[in-house]
Amino acid sequence: MWDIFLQTLPFFMLIALGYGSGRTGFFSPEATAYLTKFVFYFALSAMLFRFSANLSLEAILDWQFVLAYLSASTVIYAFATVVALRRRVPLTEAAVEAQCAVIGNVGFLGIPMLVLLLGEGAVGPVMMVLAVDLIVFGSLIVILITGSRDGRMSPKVLWTVAVGLLKNPMIVSITLGLIVSSLNLAVPLPINDFLTLLGAAATPGALFAIGASLASKSAERPAVAAWLSTCKLVLHPTAVAIAALYFFDIDPYAAGVMIAAAALPVAGNVYILAQHYGVAPTRVSASILISTAASIVTVSLVIAWVTNF
C-alpha cells in the first residue's frame, strides 16, 4: 500500500501545484481555461490517437467488459437519482448528482496515471471506460436535462447530443486512431515522434489544469457533496468490482483497470455541463473538490488492491 501511495503521490503533487498556483493568483482562471483547452484539444488528443492507432479494434472492444462497467454504473446512477429525488430536488438536479456519482476524471487523470502505474495494457480498458462515460452517460445527462425542461423528447435534443459527440476531441482522436489501425496504415516516424512529443505534455498539463481549476471551486453544501463523493469513490468502484468479478467473465487484469478507473474522483466536465445548463454548479464544484482531495488515499487503496489481481 505504501509503495502504491508513493507512486500515486507525484500525480497529486502536480494537482496540488496547480491548485496553489490558482489560489495565489499566479495562474489566473483565464490562464487555466487556455491550458485546459490546450490539453483537451491537442496534448490529450495526440496521446489518445497514438495509443489507438497502435491498437486493433478487437484489442479494445470487449462487450463483456462494456456490459459489466455499464450495468454497474447504471445501478449507481439510478441509486443516486432515487436518493436525490427522495430529497425532492428537480429531475434536472438529480441527473447532475447522478452524473457526479459515476463519471470519474478518466480523461485528464485516469489515462496518464493508470497507464503509467498499471502498464501499457491498461490503454484498451481505460478507453472503453472513457467511451461509455462520454457516449452513454454524457448523452444521458443532456437528454434528461433538456427533455425535463421541454417536457418532451424532440429531434433537436438528439441532434444536440450527436453534434456534441462529434465535436468531442477525445472521441474523434480515438476513432481516427482506430481507423488508421484497422486499415493497417503505418504512422510515419516524424508524425509518430510529433504525437509522442505533444502527447507527453498531456500528463503534467492535465494534472496542473485539474489543480488550477479546483482553486476556483468552493465547498458549498458539503453534506451533499460528501455523499456524492462517497458514491463516486466507494460505491461506484464497489459495484464495478462486484459486476466484473462475480457476474461477468472479465479478464482479471482488465477487471482491475476497470475498478481503478471507477475509483477516480468526479470529472471536471460534469461541472462544465452543470454550469452550461445552470443546474447546481456549486454542488458539483464541491463534489469535485472533496472527491479529488479524498482520492489521494482512496485511489491508492484501490490500485494497491487491484495490483494483486
Distance of CA 179 to CAs 53, 58, 61, 165, Å?
Answer: 8, 12, 14, 17
Q: How far is the C-alpha of 123 from the C-alpha of 111, rounded, in Å?
A: 7
Per residue of the chain (309 residues), what is the pLDDT tens digit?
678 888 888 999 999 999 999 999 999 999 999 999 999 999 999 999 998 888 887 777 899 999 999 999 999 999 999 999 999 999 999 999 999 999 999 988 999 899 989 998 999 999 999 999 999 999 999 888 887 766 555 677 678 777 877 888 888 999 999 899 888 888 899 999 999 999 999 989 989 999 998 888 766 668 999 999 999 999 999 999 999 999 999 999 999 999 999 999 999 889 888 888 889 888 998 999 999 999 999 999 999 999 987
User: In CATH, what number is assigned to the domain containing residue 211?
Assistant: 1.20.1530.20
Interior angle at CA 167, CA 78 and CA 277, nearest 5:
50
Please report, as a single letter, which amino acid is at residue 225. A
Query: How many structural domains comprise the chain?
Result: 1
Q: Contact 82/235 with Cβ under 8 angstroms?
A: no
Give the three cell numbers for residue 47. 496521446
Interior angle at CA 216, CA 265 and CA 270, nearest 5:
40
Q: Give the model's pLDDT for residue 193.
A: 94
Q: Contact 228/296 with Cβ under 8 angstroms?
A: no
Distance of CA 223 to CAs 149, 214, 218, 226, Å?
Answer: 27, 18, 13, 5
Q: Give the model's pLDDT for residue 199.
A: 93
Instruction: Give the structural domain span for 48.
Output: 2-306
Residues contacting residue 267 through CB under 8 Å, at least 6 positions apart:
103, 104, 105, 106, 107, 108, 133, 288
Q: How far is the C-alpha of 286 from the C-alpha of 220, rounded, in Å?
A: 6
Q: How far is the C-alpha of 274 from the C-alpha of 289, rounded, in Å?
A: 15
Give the three cell numbers for residue 5. 501511495
Q: How far is the C-alpha of 116 from the C-alpha of 199, rounded, in Å?
A: 14
> What's the pTM?
0.89
Among the listed residues 304, 305, 302, 299, the one whose alpha carbon sits nearest the alpha carbon of residue 11 = 299
End-to-end CA separation in angstroms for the chain: 14
Among the listed residues 1, 5, 8, the one whose alpha carbon sits nearest the alpha carbon of residue 207 = 8
Distance of CA 266 to CAs 42, 224, 248, 294, Å?
Answer: 23, 14, 26, 11
Per the document, the length of the chain is 309
Burial of 201 (0-12, 13-18, 19+ CB in 10 A): middle
241-267 burial: b if 16+ Cβ within 10 Å, else e: bebbbeebebbebbbbbbbbbbbbbbb
Q: How far is the C-alpha of 124 from the C-alpha of 14, rounded, in Å?
A: 25
Q: Contact 222/290 with Cβ under 8 angstroms?
A: yes
Q: How far is CA 104 from the centre of its chain?
A: 4
